[in-house]
Amino acid sequence: MKTLLAKLQLDSINLGACSGPKKWIDSGASPLTSCNPTTGAPIAQVIPADGAAYATVVASAEAAFKQWRSVPAPKRGDVVRDLGAILREFKEPLGELVSLEMGKIRAEGIGEVQEMIDICDFAVGLSRQLYGLTMHSERPAHRMYEQWHPLGPIGIITAFNFPVAVWSWNAALAAVCGDTMVWKPSELTPLCGVAVQHLANQVMADHQLTGIFTLAAGAGDIGQRMAEDQRLPLISFTGSIPTGRRVAQTVAGRLGRPLLELGGNNAIIVSDKAELDLAVRAIMFGAVGTAGQRCTSTRRIIAHAAIVDELTTRLVNAYRQTPIGDPLQPGVLMGPLATSRAVAAMLRAVERAVADGGVVLTGGVARPDLGPQFVEPTIIRMPAQTEIVREETFAPILYVMSYRSLDEAIALHNSVTQGLSSAIFTDSLREAEMFLSVAGSDCGIANVNIGTSGAEIGGAFGGEKDTGGGRESGSDAWKAYMRRQTNTINWSGELPLAQGIKFE
């Protein structure tokens, strides 16, 4: 472990506030202890930002913005290219740190760093494609167009479950867009934040830059400061629905821009016309992968009555063979949950489901023999979509329900408050198109014959309803990080008014 930490410039005690290369700030605040979810033992400590450190960090991001916004976007892209290069170099140790501190298996930790690399590549190309439209003016000899300007220093608040990738979706885009940024990583994964800041510092130093990527590790108090901070025009928040609601209200209260990526309660409809082999594999990855701690994790199966028994039998067999254990060990497919609170929340959910008439087909228990935060992946057959099924429990519980008509399946699918990711498994074109139609899935992501999790960075990522409506990552999500300006230029020598108004 020591060697891994050393490769990433991590010590037993680390500073958690940083305003640029060689500008780490010792706030003197009491340290956060990052614990290994596999054993419960401490890994290392991080001294969080306090009010004064936060003020220094934001002031630095604010000052840097004044310079950075005037650097041509393709030149900003050069910096992000180097960020991608250093992430390639440190892919293995950073992926292993993600696995160590967060508890996802090594392959997923490394996959997460791959997402960072991919979004950097995407952003480099984007740096030459921050296109605005031109319009035809209704007035003669007038030109009308729109352009996109950088927004300012922005705030990025990320969750424990994707401790580095979600930062990069925001950071790589924001950087090419000309924004600077302040990052508050989850207090459960501050070491990942510090490690990434070291890499970003190297890139900034190589370009004689400072204050583009900054760090303010801490707990809710730092998040609250960011949400209230008038100097941060955009707050990108990833986390729970209740916290997201509070952040959104605070940011909206000062007429700032919230970009929310909150919880999901993602379902897969499995039709009687589905290829069950594919469905079983996708459900396993979606529900058991990351121990059910992705916001895109599969939590509900809505299976046709004709195949529900066969599907659940196959799933139960696969679940029982899932290797659970140390996520850094080869062959393990499921690691621990993030906290012992999460274990308790999972067991409470199982109890409630059973009280609602649910039958636990496999799992449903903690595995203290493996470590304090281990559980068994769980399948519960539900007679109906009761209240507990409509809640998001951040754990590997899969609720299985059955349907007879596709309309009924879609109605069940959509009658939850969350709207992130969704999928249907079917070989019927009509069923697939119905699911993707306006009367189908109401989620931000809707897939056919692939699962709910593991989205590529090229698409816009986010969801509707209580998921918060934000879009990050690919497609035109970059627009959230810029301000749009409409420009009309009169080169006529006259002053015609729009709408034909005469004012003389």
Query: Residue 1 CB, nearest distance to ligand UN1 (Å)?
Result: 26
Phi/psi region, residue 176 (left: phi>0; alpha: psi -120 to 50; beta: rest), is: alpha
Q: Using CA atoms, how far apart are residues 408 and 312, in angstroms rounded to an integer?
A: 20
Query: Which pair of tokens denotes residue 351?
Result: 């109890």
| Closest to ligand UN1 by CB, 236 or 312 | 236
Q: Which of 189, 238, 385, 422 binds ligand UN1 (CB under 6 A)?
A: 238
Per 3-state DSSP, the chain is made up of helix, strand and coil in percentages (nearest 5) of 40, 20, 40
Residues 6+ apart with CB under 8 A from 300: 265, 266, 267, 268, 385, 389, 398, 399, 400, 401, 413, 416
Is residue 113 involved in binding ligand UN1 (CB under 6 A)? no
| Closest to ligand UN1 by CB, 18 or 165 | 165
Query: Residue 161 CB, nearest distance to ligand UN1 (Å)?
Result: 5
Q: At what angle do helices 106-126 and 73-89 cross, to 10 degrees?
A: 160
Span 438-457, contacts to ligand UN1 by CB under 6 A: 453-455
| Closest to ligand UN1 by CB, 21 or 264 | 264
Is residue 213 involved in binding ligand UN1 (CB under 6 A)? no
| Closest to ligand UN1 by CB, 203 or 338 | 338
Is residue 161 involved in binding ligand UN1 (CB under 6 A)? yes
Q: How many helices (H) and strands (E) does the chain have?
A: 15, 24
Is residue 265 involved in binding ligand UN1 (CB under 6 A)? no
CA angle 239–175–249, rounded 5-degree value:
35
| Closest to ligand UN1 by CB, 181 or 291 | 291
If one counts every other C-beta atom within 10 angstroms of the C-beta of residue 492, the result is 11
Q: Using CA atoms, how far apart are residues 345 and 341, in angstroms rounded to an integer?
A: 6
Is residue 162 involved in binding ligand UN1 (CB under 6 A)? yes
Count the residues of the shown chain that bind ligand UN1, applying the rule CB under 6 A. Answer: 10
Q: Which of 47, 295, 315, 400 binds ligand UN1 (CB under 6 A)?
A: 295
Span 25-44, contacts to ligand UN1 by CB under 6 A: none
403 beta partners: 304
Helix (H) or strand (E) holding 52: helix 51-68
Residues annotated as catalytic (active site), given as ranges: 261, 295
- Segment near ligand UN1 (CB under 6 A), from 75-83, 294-302, 320-328, 408-416? 294-302
Residues of the shown chain interacting with ligand UN1 in the complex, contacts defined by CB under 6 A: 161-162, 166, 238, 294-296, 453-455
